[in-house]
Structure 1
Amino acid sequence: MVEIEPLPRAVIQAFSSQFEKSQSRAADIPEADLSGVDPALTRCLMPFQRDGVNFAVCREGRLLLADDMGLGKTIQAICIAAFYRKEWPLLVVTPSSVRFTWAEAFQRWLPSLRPDSINVVVKGKDNLRSGQVNIISYDLLSKMDKQQPTHPFNVIIMDESHFLKNMKTARCKAALPMLKAAKRVILLSGTPAMSRPSELYTQILAVRPAFFPRFHEFGARYCDAKQLHWGWDYSGSSNLAELKLVLEESLMLRRLKAEVLSQLPAKQRKVVTVTTDGITARTKAALNAAAKDLAQGHRNKMQEKEALLVFFNHTAEAKLRPINEYILDLMECGREKFLVFAHHKLVLDNVTKELGEKGISYIRIDGTTPSAERQLLCNKFQFSEKSCVAVLSITAANMGLTLHSANLVVFAELFWNPGVLIQAEDRVHRIGQTSNVDIHYLVAKGTADDYLWPMIQEKMNVLGQAGLSESNLSENAECASFYCRDPKQKTITEMFQRSFTEEDEAMLLQAADTWDDSETGITSTCQGNVTESPSKKTIFDYFGNNSAKRKAL
């Protein structure tokens, strides 16, 4: 006897949709009317991104946008949400490390949105619904159950929605009721399932709750469910072609880079705005004092250099935590191979320490790496089939290395010479690279980055206009959006311009490497911690001992 199981409702709907397409000549998705969305956004959409918005509107604002990494899911999500702006307030749930990057993106793409209407939740006691756009991290959302709004959010964006893959986690338990109650649900993930179909279930449930109300029904059909002595095992896979059809016809849109490569620039830069909220009171006070010292002006160039370098060094210390958070978020999002460039030994030490503690494979190349070992380390990275991070010194590993098996470069720190940054980018963007390259610059407000980034932009754009570089940062909207509103910015930026020159570079690098906080006597160790070092030279000692060299310059 052959037992025939009934098809799930989702499968019947998917096949019905396929049949209707085959019978209709007009199978294309209609163009959505975006006349109510800011032109600053709509005119910047690439054709495939416009198709993504059309797909979302056609499905009434409920979808899983699973485009490959680097294809602009953020701008598509903002456009989709803006189409339903009358239904706001909007909730955006995102990894902690990119909360402020989302806030910057809304300011950039929706100029009609007042900056004070964007609410970034940073503490559990903050109001979750005080803005038109409300941005919160997954972890903080799970701690705010008591503050669930009486009226649910009608429009929700879930960035990196694979964070919901485990139904038993606090983040998933907090998010699912809100998603089921929302009218528009926009899930974003370049890797919706990391390893098995079971990881898709919660995302399907969020977008189409009626498809598979009970997990066992989904698991039995697509997870090769087996009943063992301890219970059901859903770790397998089955009927994958059918699952693909259900997803694509009903709720998911996925484009790979290879499919839209002709529409993409070879190199895509973006600024990732990180927060330094977690810094110690001592570091915060040191940053504020350094900025105040700079704003007061200095009698001579030597004093300027000393003050600027102190500010630059304290910035490195302030960014340690957000740098690690961002790198670990990338790993959780499926980025298995990428480069991390930093300048200070303190930062390089801290990153490698964190990777080592998490059991993540990495290579490190800095000024102390022997020439004979560099190629061996490059080969290890190039041919590694497992996840691997290349932790590199901006100045010691920016030339002569080929690492194009990765297509993502992360700059944990900025550097005053944009030519050095371009050379570092090109460790990946070179002959042999078959994909477009993503470049992420981590920028922290309230630090030296406020002044370094505009300076880098200006220098790069001058080179581009003169035909000396193919890179013009002002043409990249995501990069041009970061500007500090400090009225003293121009003055301090000019100090960086005239103080950090190519001729000074060797001296400045050595001074940074021998940095010792003059007030507290702390310096970095190989473990990335701080320790007493009374014998270590301070920046001021270093500059004082190099007066002859300064005069020669």
Structure 2
Amino acid sequence: MPTTAPTQTSSSRRRRPSSARRDDESPIIPILARKVREVEAKAQRGKLGPTNRVKFQVIAFLVREERARVKADTEASDATRAELLKRLDGVATILAKTAARDTSLIQLLEVDQATSPVARRMRRDWLLESGAELPPDELIITDAAPAAAPVVPAALAERQVFPPQVEARQMANPFLAPDLTARAPASTARRRLDGWELMGPLYKAFEMGAGGTAASMELPPVPEFDRLSPRGLQIMPHQSRFLEAVREGHRAFLLADEPGLGKTAESVLAASVADAYPLLVVVPNVVKMNWAREVERWTPQRRATVIQGDGENIDAFADVFIVNYEILDRHLSWLSSLGLKGMVVDEAHFIKNLTSQRSRNVLALAGRIREQTGNPLLLALTGTPLINDVEDFDAIWRFLGWTNGEKPGPLLMEKLDATGLTPADKAFYPEARDAVISMGIVRRKKKDVAADLPDKLIADLPVQLDDDFGRSIRAAERELGARLAAKYRRIIDARGDRGLAPGEVDDEIVRLVAHNELEESKAAGTGGDNVFTMVRKIGQAKAVLAADYALQLQRSVGKVVFFAKHIDVMDAAEAHFAAAGLRTVSLRGDQSGAARQEAIDAFNDDPEVGVAVCSLTAAGVGVNMQASSNVVLAELSWTAAEQTQAIDRVHRIGQEEPVTAWRIIAAHTIDTKIAELIDSKQGLAQRALDGDAVDPQSSDSVQLSALMHLLRQALGG
């Protein structure tokens, strides 16, 4: 969509007849002004996903086009021309401010920047909305055939390993079994929605919670007999219904059940039902050994192998290959040639950042599996698929083959087309949400499918930091607030108050100052006083108080799980427990899989072990600790999802007692506000996934919201 010099023809087709123009000489400008505000709002929240990046690019091109058209319009008066150019400059100014926040946007402003069919459709739709008459070649936009990306990018080629055991497997059977699965021929017929930009409306459908029902596809009824559970085990009804859907032929799922409902067991048995072997399972490092145990437990007739390092000791003849995200990059070559029939991605929200190498690795392998197998089993497992924004769905949908990031895949497009609606129709959004759900979203809540699971309570326990360390933390908070307030006042003084009433605060400037502080804090790391170092100091100050409470709790109720975010807080707690003569185990990120599992088993089985001291990040997933019904959160997380994951290590299938999570909160500090913000961030998932009628919450991060709170407090707001 490069800009070209305007001609009389382009000028005439871009203007509506004078009878329809009324007082608006440039009807595209109000549309651009509205769209650029939408992009600016997303950028201020740090949520500029693929759809809004395309929107940014289209706005920039249309501003250029319209500026050239206005300058060349000999019919407009000088005053009209000056007014229109001023309005266009206002849109361009917002684009420049947005690009200053996210410098990766600058390349999208290049005149010769190649544009996608999505961008061309978006431009066309906005021009049509403005009343422009377009020639046929701009009305019909076709998609270029996507170039096949290699599984192993050139940058990773030298890192590839080839375990000798894999060579033995290939020599034993040098030919992959032919895939005789019937594949639907590629349709060449045009669909009614082919010309529409659909990704934005699909995200919007979930953001609105359109439909008001839980995001879970219709599943078959529970079968009369349990034909899958090995001796001594029994699957639950909700698991059985999922497996019946696999038996009926469904193969791609976003399994988004709440944590603790047995997604691992469901996945292991799904592979058995679908005969999806060899199966690749990509997981966080901390749960590799647990996955191997679950394969052995639920499908004892199958063999699992855990890939460590360069894979020297793997069992190349295994049915299930388990690898962690961090080392997947060096195993891409041989895994892509193994003839995989299925792939499971555990904690699938780990791939939400499409710019990360681990996301690209997962998506490249999934693409290769779809090429080799007509209908592979693809499972994305996560109880928290939405962390900050609805576009967190993007990578997961790509992995499952439902979309390619720019448009829906053929099957989803067929379902959307069958609605008979377009994004211009309000009724399209609930129908579109249902269409995506029917592709394979399965979301069950504990209260609905595990009625016998005990209640869960989160209780806040305020503590006073009344020593010198605590006083220094409060002083540092005041200094940070004062620094932010000084920046705010400098901006207000430079631009003028613009009609602000006495004592009124400009929320946009508050957000801008807080955003800049957050970016500087991320760059500074642990240097200086910022929101990250302040929260860490609060954790250090609470460490012994939280440990002492956990100690008293253990003496009265038995085993306790103690969570902290930082190693020094864990160390201080363990020292306090040891001084009291209490036996503990520790779960940390630097442990081997065997040591980690040994600690979990000791906590669950050894009556002498009273407390498990766990890292929020390393032990928040894939751990079953039902021997306890009490959790102490010594430090707060930055996300509601991380807090939920930690508590659900205890509140899960197998728990027989009501669960209480005790949050230790430092009174009269930013800790109190962070706890409040975490609780307020539940609205997105409740609205998008569970169909709850909750008011839309701000999508600002907890860090940004906390800084805005400090600034308003310093300003007296």
Please tell me the TM-score bracket, short chain as reference: 0.3 to 0.5
Which structure: larger Rg?
2
The answer to which structure, 1 or 2, has the higher relative contact order (CA under 8 A, 6+ apart) is 2
TM (norm. structure 1) is 0.43
